[in-house]
């Protein structure tokens, strides 16, 4: 075990014991992530921080940190994942208040108007027509409903890792189809 991973494990132990200086250190790391990448959530930072702290406490208590990366990297990853999930939930909460005449309604076209918009919609329709029902459902849940991979996994009754690999393959298929349509192949 390297000295840095030993130091990280010591930090985790001190965090679990509620050591004030360790808590401030880790809070500083999560504050930096929020300031750098999640200014749009500024009004909700305290709520996001509470979720992050709860996730860190749960993961640390379960021994989920395996030392393959630095603790700071691990904490940053937790922060980003929690903030993204929070952002998606906030988006869905806002969408619930919309009515069908609102242009932001999920079924409304967000493509630009005119010829460019018509061509983009045609290409999208053709790509979606080539995909399986499973792929279309997955894309809809992730991009239209803004579900996290964890939420998709729960809804489909499969592992989160399976969702990630399916999503990766689905994105590859979409890009291949788009290239084919763009080049006329």
Count other C-beta atoms under 10 Å from residue 106's C-beta.
Answer: 14
Please give the C-alpha separations between residue 35 and each of 45, 83, 123, in angstroms, as whole numbers.
10, 11, 38
Contacts of 44 (CB under 8 A, 6+ apart): 86, 90
Instruction: Provide the pLDDT for residue 156.
Output: 84
* pTM of the shown model: 0.52
> What is the pLDDT of the chain when averaged over all its residues?
81
CA separation for the pair 181, 127 (Å, rounded): 8
Cα distance between residue 55 and residue 82, in whole Å: 8
Return the pLDDT at 128. 83
- Could you tell me the fold of the domain covering 114-183? Arc Repressor Mutant, subunit A (1.10.10)
| pLDDT score, position 108 | 44
Domain locations along the chain: 3-96, 114-183
- Which pLDDT score, from 0 to 100, does residue 137 have? 84
The whole-number pLDDT of residue 107 equals: 43
Give pLDDT, residue 25: 93
What is residue 14's predicted lDDT score, i.e. its pLDDT? 92
Q: Of 78, 101, 80, which Cα lies nearest the Cα of 12?
A: 78
CATH number assigned to the domain with residue range 3-96, chosen from the 4 options 1.10.1740, 3.30.70, 1.10.1060, 1.25.40: 1.10.1740
The pLDDT score that the predictor gives to residue 10 is: 92
In the chain, which stretches have pLDDT less than 50? 1, 96, 98-111
Given this model, what pLDDT does residue 21 score? 93
Pairwise CA distance, residues 177 & 124, whole Å: 10
């Amino acid at each position: 075990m390297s000295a840095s991973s030993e130091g990280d494990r010591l930090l985790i132990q001190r965090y679990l014991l509620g050591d004030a200086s360790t808590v401030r250190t880790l809070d500083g790391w999560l504050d930096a992530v929020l300031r750098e990448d999640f200014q749009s959530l500024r009004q909700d930072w305290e709520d996001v921080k509470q979720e992050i702290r709860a996730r860190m406490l749960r993961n640390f208590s379960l021994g989920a940190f395996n030392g393959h990366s630095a603790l700071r990297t691990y904490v940053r990853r937790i922060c980003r994942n929690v903030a993204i999930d929070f952002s998606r939930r906030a988006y869905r909460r806002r969408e619930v208040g919309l009515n069908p005449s609102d242009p932001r309604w999920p079924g409304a076209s967000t493509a630009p108007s005119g010829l460019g918009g018509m061509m983009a919609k045609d290409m999208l329709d053709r790509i979606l027509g080539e995909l399986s029902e499973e792929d279309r459902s997955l894309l809809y849940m992730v991009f239209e409903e803004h579900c996290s991979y964890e939420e998709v996994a729960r809804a489909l009754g499969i592992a989160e890792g399976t969702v990630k690999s399916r999503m990766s393959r689905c994105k590859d298929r979409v890009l291949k189809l788009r290239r084919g349509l763009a080049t006329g192949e």
